[in-house]
């Protein structure tokens, strides 16, 4: 069974800083994703802490939240059949060194922390994350 879903994607500071946002958006579009909402913003560290709360016990949590709030990001709602999984596949593994050819992280990721993109990991979390950035 397949169905149209929405997922949240973030182009992270390392990619925006290198002006890769348009190339990454083209990768999404060429794979059939529709970008239904989009904004370029910079968030406060406390907002990053809320967004990544699921990771609060992890050793990388503080650095992760400092990093996500360190510069402009592009936040998007992507729509496609099975968008959550399709986006995870297009992103590639968390560690760019382990990402396979054709994925965003393989192409653009610098390191496990500067891995260029975020994507929701479930339909349930996608709803929470979309609501976090696009309340209205």
Give catalytic residues, as residue numbers: 118
Site map for ligand UDP, 51-80, x if CB under 6 A? Answer: ----x----x---x----------------
Q: Which is nearer to Mg ion, 20 or 126 (CB)?
A: 126
Using the rule CB under 6 A, give the single segment among 23-31, 38-46, 113-121, 123-131 that binds ligand UDP. 113-121
Per CB under 6 A, 115 contacts ligand UDP: yes
Of the pair 42, 94, the CB lying nearest ligand UDP is at: 94
> Of 34 and 58, which CB lies nearer to ligand UDP in the complex structure?
58
Buried b (16+ CB within 10 A) or exposed e, 91-111: bbbeebeebeeebbbbbbbee
Tell the residue number behind the tokens 């992270």, with chain if given: 12
Q: Which residues bind ligand UDP (CB under 6 A)?
A: 55, 60, 64, 94, 112-113, 115, 118, 121
Q: Which residues bind Mg ion (CB under 5 A)?
A: 121
């Amino acid at each position: 069974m397949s169905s149209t879903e929405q997922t949240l994607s973030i182009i992270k500071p390392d990619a925006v800083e290198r002006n890769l946002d348009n190339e990454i958006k083209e990768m999404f579009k060429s794979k059939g994703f529709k970008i239904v909402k989009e904004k370029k913003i910079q968030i406060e560290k406390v907002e990053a802490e809320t967004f990544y709360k699921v990771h609060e016990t992890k050793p990388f949590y503080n650095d992760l939240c400092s990093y996500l709030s360190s510069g402009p990001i592009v936040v998007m709602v992507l729509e496609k059949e099975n968008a959550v999984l399709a986006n995870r596949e297009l992103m590639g593994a968390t560690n760019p060194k382990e990402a396979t050819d054709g994925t965003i992280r393989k192409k653009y990721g610098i390191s496990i922390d500067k891995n260029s993109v975020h994507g929701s990991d479930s339909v349930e979390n996608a709803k929470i994350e979309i609501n976090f950035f696009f309340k209205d």
